[in-house]
Amino acid sequence: MGPPPRHRVDPVQLLSGPATTAVRRGRVLRDLVAAARRGPPPIPDPAPLVSVIVATYNYSSVLRHAIRSVLDQTYGNFELFVVGDACSDDSEEVVASFGDPRVTWINREQNSGTQSGPNNTGIERAAGRYVAYLGHDDLWHPWHLATLVGELERAGAPIAHGLVELLGPPGSRRKILGGLMPGDRGLGRWLPPTSVVHLTELGRQNPWRNYAETADPPDVDFVDRVQRQVGPPLRVVALTSFKFVATWRPNCYVDRPAHEQAAWLERLEHEPRMLERELLSLVFHRVSPFHGKLPPPPAPPSDPELGWLTTRARRIRGLE
């Protein structure tokens, strides 16, 4: 048993909120478009090795798209660990099909129930200066690693995050820009790991906790503990990642659809000025009276146990 956890704070929506002035809105949009036009900062020389970790569990249909979005990176000095949480499907064969020596498959013997176990396994094997995470059902823009690593090296920061587009299923009209909170990140605020890069040593000093050991979800708990040690993450005002929120897609681990990721990867690889088009789409979507609403945060049980939010999320996804 434990105290009720803090709910994940809804990501700040682009051009929303009573405290957001017209001047600030214009500056934010200006900075985002400028970042999309100029591309990532120069790659450091020598370029530090980045250890990319993709935690996965029996969802090979989307896994192949996540791996492709890593291999599409303009920043080439990385190693990729695809870590199965005791997978029993064809994920190993999907990884092997790429034939890239930078990609390593690891399958844990025991299922941990969340990304915590696979992330710790990847961090144990990491040889890079930095660790980056990508959800197996998420995608990166090709500039993601170059942008975040470039800014980390420029600022000498230990941890950073880019902006992430949170995407609802087709027809939901949910399309939200995450990570654009006013001021520094507050403790308890959710940052999707897909948007985060940090020094490898921080992951070894602050191992990911099992969801049954913490009141907050493991990803919130991890960033909170790192933030208490080194301060708030550096916010990089550039849209670099795309998250297909699993809890907005009931039974996705049962049905295992991958058509959304396939379509978005096609855009990322081939659509001219994709980032600028998507930023404009976010603006028009936000001001439209028909934009989708976020679901209300779940009310805690009368006597909540540690990990109840994660248990609820697992049920929505079809894992329990």
Coil, helix or strand at residue 270: helix
Q: DSSP assignment of 85-98, as one string?
A: SS--SSHHHHHHTT
Residue in 84, 196, 222, 70 with CA at minimum distance from that of residue 132? 196
Please, what's the largest Cα pairwise distance for the chain?
A: 55
Task: Report which DSSP code applies to 220.
Answer: H
CA distances from 1 to 117, 187, 212, 214, 304 (A): 22, 22, 10, 10, 7
CA gap 165, 179 in Å, rounded? 9
CA distances from 274 to 37, 88, 98, 260 (A): 10, 36, 25, 16
Strand partners of residue 80: 52, 103
Place of tokens 């192949």: 64
Q: Which residues contact 171 (CB under 8 A, 6 or more apart)?
A: none
CA gap 57, 36 in Å, rounded? 33
CATH architecture of 22-293: Alpha-Beta Complex (3.90)
- Residue 18, CB-side half-sphere exposure with 13 Å CA sphere: 0
Check residue 24 and give its pLDDT: 66
Phi and psi at 273, nearest 5°, equal 50, 40
Write the single-letter amino acid at 279. Answer: L
Q: Where are the domains of the chain?
A: 22-293
CA gap 259, 170 in Å, rounded? 10
CA gap 261, 64 in Å, rounded? 10
Q: Which residues contact 149 (CB under 8 A, 6 or more apart)?
A: 43, 44, 47, 48, 50, 75, 130, 197
Q: Which residues contact 212 (CB under 8 A, 6 or more apart)?
A: 305, 306, 307
Tens of pLDDT along the chain (320 residues)? 444 444 444 333 444 444 445 566 667 778 888 888 888 888 888 999 999 999 999 999 999 999 999 999 999 999 999 999 999 999 999 999 999 999 999 999 999 999 999 999 999 999 999 999 999 999 999 999 999 999 999 999 999 999 999 999 998 888 889 988 767 888 989 999 999 999 999 999 999 999 999 989 999 999 999 999 999 999 999 999 999 999 999 999 999 999 999 999 999 999 999 999 999 888 877 766 556 666 677 777 777 888 888 998 999 999 98
